[in-house]
Amino acid sequence: MKILIVEDEAKTGDYLKQGLSEAGFVVDLARDGLDGLHLALTETYDLAVLDVMLPGIDGWKVLQGIRRAGGEFPVLFLTARDGIDDRVHGLESGADDYLVKPFAFAELLARVRTLLRRGTKAREADVLRAADLEVDPLRRRVTRAGRRIDLTAREFALLELLLRRQGEVLPRSLIASQVWDMNFDSDTNVVEVAVRRLRAKIDDDFTPRLIRTVRGMGYALEAPE
């Protein structure tokens, strides 16, 4: 799960980043509104924590930009001002929740988890399909041609990513950051090895083959027409 934090106060930003990382999330931290919006529109996040008062553009504008571009992930606002106006403004702008500064980290973590659960339910209710491959993200079940296939957690995450972005060529670096929560140099072959293992389970004994290698670029999953 990947979280974007936009917070200009260095201490608060670092504290949030550290805390959420320790709680097992992959965290990007932007120090102003423009950087935050840029990241929100170019990376893939499951949730964003936005400070209201930011240099450049404020938290409301960042949220507007995200929603206008079709970003549907939940947004939790941090505000130093607990006036009722802020809350109304935020709700109209499409915020999902608020926390008034100063807050306890445990409170923030609880809100983040609740929002993610809610978002996951809405997004993952459906079974993902390509040809005769079926993946049920909620039940963690994979079948191909009606045959049950057991995957490791990583293999499952990799397959789910490829399926959710069916037809797109996903660079190895993107796969590594989404599935392994890490950035790595292109000389490591961890992604290649994982793709090979996944293929052995979901592709090798079946027709058509669904995972395509795009030389020099990455991998794509698609069912031929």
> Which residues of the chain form contacts with Ca ion (CB under 5 A)?
8, 51, 53
Task: Give yes or no for a contact between 132 and 144, defined as CB atoms under 8 angstroms apart.
Answer: yes
Q: How far is the CB of 114 from Ca ion (least distance, A)?
A: 24
- Closest CB to Ca ion among 30 and 174? 30
Q: How far is the CB of 9 from Ca ion (least distance, A)?
A: 5
- Closest CB to Ca ion among 51 and 160? 51
Q: How far is the CB of 8 from Ca ion (least distance, A)?
A: 5
Q: How far is the CB of 51 from Ca ion (least distance, A)?
A: 4
* Cα gap 162→135, rounded to integer Å: 11
- Closest CB to Ca ion among 62 and 221? 62
* Cα gap 91→163, rounded to integer Å: 33
- Closest CB to Ca ion among 8 and 222? 8
